[in-house]
Structures are given as structure tokens and as C-alpha cells.
Structure 1
Amino acid sequence: MGLHRAIIFLRVILCIGASLSQSVVTLDCEDVVTGILNEDTKLTCSIKSTIVKKYDLINLSKIENKKPTSVFSLEAGAKQPRNNRIKIIRPDSDDVSLLIQKTELTDEGNYQYDLETRAGYDSKIIRLKVKAPYSLPKVTLHSNTMGAINLSCETTGYPQAQIHWFVNGNLTSESNSSSNKTPAGLMITSILQINNSQITSEDNYTCAVWSLDKNVYEIQGQLWGKFIALILQIISTNIF
């Protein structure tokens, strides 16, 4: 009976000790981080504790299909992996921020950061978003066999955006858009068809890139009616 009570008492002490050790160390991380394509991205994290200032082990895992896969792991005093794009910035301090070098589109996602110290452990989830600024839209025109011309607007960036057309400042829905993924991001192309008879030299055609993430127009390109009329005149005289 005495032995049974002693075992129970020991278990209680161990549980209390484990609980106290977990409570004296906290991993403080920025929850959502936005990285720029091909630039370095900092995952800001620090140890909050009155007892320890250094880690024993840190591990970063990417969560895909609800399963974490380790992408970076380092024990205290060990050398950082040479062929890993992820590095710890200040290994001998309570700043345990990580740096993802030359950020790629595939780096986007959720990460689990695990920290172990002699005083306890903690874990945090970090959401990494990757952005590639959209390029200045390239506006071109092509004649077709339907007695009309196609205005084409093309831009590249990330994440997903939309191209909106404005004719003389008025938004129009008469356009078709498509997108293809490239190493530089998403290439988005939108085509607006207009009749030759509708074009005047005073017309202004604008394609604007609408950010779905920010709900703002980030960048735009323009083509004037007088330029379109000039091109059509050149085409009609068979100079090209």
C-alpha cells in the first residue's frame, strides 16, 4: 500500500514538474509572414523566458496534407546545414529567427516551429505567404477576320489577380482572361475585342491589375484610340 502511494506521489511530482517546465519558456513568433519571390524572408521568433536564453533544439516543419515534414532542424552547438536555404540568424541568443534564402513560390504554406530548451518546450504555427509584384502590363493589338481587333493585356506576378478593362474610364466586362504558372509567378492575359467602327482618336483603353489579396488596383497599362487607328491604317495599306 505504501509503495502504491509512493508511486502515485512520484507521478504527481513529475506531472507538476513537467507543467512548470512548460510554463517558464514561451516561443514568440510572428503569425503571418509575407515573403517576396527571390528575396530572403525572415521568420521572426524569440525565446521568452526568465530562466533560459538559448535553445537545445529547434525544428521547422512544413505542414502539407495535415502532415508536418521537417525542413530545418538544428541542435545547440551544431553546425548549420550547408545545402539548406533555411538558416538561423543568431544561433547563440534568445533570437531564434530563421531566414529563408531566395524565397520560392513553393515555400508558401503553413509551418510548425518547435523549440526545446532545458527549461521546457513550446511550438508555434507560422503562415508564410509569397508575393511577386506584378509587372507593368504589356498592351498589344491584333486584327482578326471578324471586322474587329483584339486588345491584349499581359502581366506577371503572384498571387492570383484579375485584369479589368476600362474604356474611357468606364469598367467593361466584355473581356476574356486566362493565367499560366511560371517560375516568375502567374502570367495573366486578358483580351478585349472591339469593333473598328467604334474606335475614335479620343478613346482611351486601360487594363488594370486588380489584387484579390488587397482589393486594390496595383498597376495599369494604357492604349490610346489614335494609336490604334494609326496601326489599323498602316495594316490597311499593307505596309506590314
Structure 2
Amino acid sequence: MFIIQVGSMRGTLVLICQALLWPAVSALFRVEVEERAYEAEIHRDINLGCRFSTVKTNTDLSVIWRRVEPKPDVDVYRLERGRVNHNYTSAVFKERAQLIQDLLNNNRAVLRLTKLRIKDSGTYQCIVKYGDEGDYKHVTLNVTAPYSPIQKTVRQTGRDEVELSCETKGYPSPQVIWSDGQNTKLTERINSSTRFTDEDLINVLSKLMVKRDLVNNYTCAFLMKGEIRKTATFSIPDEISPDGSNQSYVWIGAVVVVLLAIAFASVVLHMRKNGQKTRRNESTKCCLPLPLPSPATNADSLMTVDENRPDTCGTILEEKDNL
């Protein structure tokens, strides 16, 4: 059967030939994955590998690694006939993706990804071509982040109840379970919320309201794939502050004490300055010169003037000598 299109007969024949010959080519040149699925932690490095049929020389060898899921497709690394081509490489991978070219001699196309991010997760395609022959396979990568230590908080909301909260972050999203000292599940009573961080981690905050005067233990647990990864236990009422107040009151009290100390110091300094000023004025009065005697002035009058000098002058002079 012949398919003829006016003006494009040659192109149509080429497509028909490729479709007919591709199974035969694939049978001659094969690509196989070293592992179908990979898992690694954030900020770590990983090697994704595939093997290909033996070739005579690497000069005509082309290796293309692409991430095809999630959409849109992006180029991760491209080696075309022995030469690196970054013209199509995504900026996300340009500085973090490298093909280990020494392993090409062992018929291995190994892609090395460094400083992994959560968004690196997905399906990758390994395409290897040699001349006119080629084949490809897919591998999956799952980037995770271990959950951080749980931050516990006990907050009084009223006279009879307190709020217990557990907070942690990681990836992927965990399952949160609360239970009491009798291992009774309290999941229906909890209030949990999530938000994404700058690194695409999931911050989980889970809260539970309990009676403050009921002696019991309460445990929050974070599960991943059915396995408990993090737990924290509250002992009530032991972990409730004795006065039932928040730590904010402690800070308020500290601020008040500091302000009182500053005010007291200001008053003392002000009193000292006023005292020094008073003594300085009195000293000035004492230092006024005696009137010069006139020819008519007799010795008795001079003695009378000296006797009328204020007594404080001698005291001030003595204080100066002591200083």
C-alpha cells in the first residue's frame, strides 16, 4: 500500500521507512536502566544510570537526559556526537547536572545531580543514540526531607483547658496521630494545618485541646508510609506553668524592672548635679574679695568685716581640701 501526498511525497516516505525500521534498529541497539526508581534526601547528590549496547567509538555517541514528569518536559543534560550542548539545558539543572563521561567507555550513561531539591522529583528519560540507531528508558527520582525535631508548646486558653501543639517540617506530607496515656486515639479532636517553606518543605502544625486538671499523658506522632518517624509526649498537668500564665508575662515583668532601674538612676544623677551646683554657688560667695581699707578705715573695722564672713566658707574650704 502506498501513501502519496502532493508536494510532500519524500517526507512521507521517510516517515514510513522510520516506522518500519525502528523495531529492527531497537533490536540492534538497546538501552537498559540500572535502577527503575531512586530515592534521595534533599541537599544530597545522586547518580541516575542507564546502560547501552557496545559501540566502536564515542565520537558518534549522543546522550540526552530529560525530565518528562511533571510537565513541561525540560532538558537536564545533552551530549551530541561527543560534544556537550547546553543550548537546551534548563537553568534549574545547568549548574547541578553532569554526565560522568569516563563511564561512557563502560557503556554507561550516568547522570550526576548535585544539591538535590524537592522539585527535582519526577520521571527522567535516558536517551542514547549511536549514529542512526537509538533507544531510551525511564527512571523515577523521589527527593525527600527528614522531619525536624518536634517543637512542643503548651498554651492556656481558659480556666479549664490548655492547648497542646506539635510542630515539625519535612517532605512529603505526614500523617498525624494523637493518643492519650491509655492509647486512645484522639485524631477526631485535633486541628492540623500545613504550609510550604522556601525550600518546598511542608511545615505541619497540629493542635489538641485537653482539660488542664485531668492527669494524663498525650502523645503526638508523625507517620510516613505507615511508620512512626517523630513523636513527642506531654505530661498534664505537670507541664502547665504554676501560675497558668504565658511566658510573655515574664518578659513584661523584666521590662518593668529595667524601666524602674533607669528611672532611679536618672533621679540620683539629677540630685548629684543639683548638689554640685549649690556647693559651687556657695564657694563663689566665699571667694568675694574683702573691701580695700581706706585711709580712714581703722583696724577695728577690718576685724569686724572679717568676723561677718559666713561660717559656711570655712566648711566649703575644708571640703575642698579633703577632696
> What TM-score, normalized by structure 2, do the two folds share?
0.61
**Equivalent residues, number:** 224
Partner of 1:176: 191
Q: Partners in 1 of 2:18 and 2:203 — Cα distance?
A: 58
Q: Could you tell which deviates more after superposition, 12-21 or 67-76?
A: 12-21
Any conservation in 1 of the 2:65–2:78 contact (CA below 8 Å)? yes
Q: Is 1:136 matched up with 2:149? A: yes
Q: Is 1:149 matched up with 2:162? A: yes
Q: Is 1:27 matched up with 2:37? A: no
Q: Deviations over 1:101-147 (max 9, x none)?
A: 11111111222221112372111122221100111212111111363
Bigger fraction of residues in strand: 1
Q: Partners in 2 of 1:139 and 1:197 — Cα distance?
A: 19
Of residues 34, 39, 44 in structure 1, which corresponds to 2:44? 39
CA separation of 1:165 and 1:88: change in aligned 2, threshold 3 A: same
Q: CA deviation at 1:64?
A: 4.7
Higher relative contact order (CA 8 A, sep 6+): 1
Q: CA deviation at 1:16?
A: 7.2
Q: Which runs of 5+ in 2 are unaligned?
A: 1-13, 87-92, 251-323
Partner of 2:124: 111
Bigger fraction of residues in helix: 2
Q: Which runs of 5+ in 1 are unaligned?
A: 1-10
Q: Deviations over 1:190-216 (max 9, x none)?
A: 001111122x1xx222111111xx221
The amino acid that maps onto 2:233 is Q
Q: Is 1:163 matched up with 2:168? A: no
SS at match of 2:241: helix
CA separation of 1:80 and 1:118: change in aligned 2, threshold 3 A: closer
SS at match of 2:108: coil
SS at match of 2:143: strand
Residue identity (%)? 24
Q: CA deviation at 1:21?
A: 3.0
> What TM-score, normalized by structure 1, do the two folds share?
0.80
Which runs of structure 2 are paired with 1:219-234 in the superposition (5 Å)?
A: 219-225=230-236, 227-228=238-239, 231-234=240-243
Partner of 2:65: 60
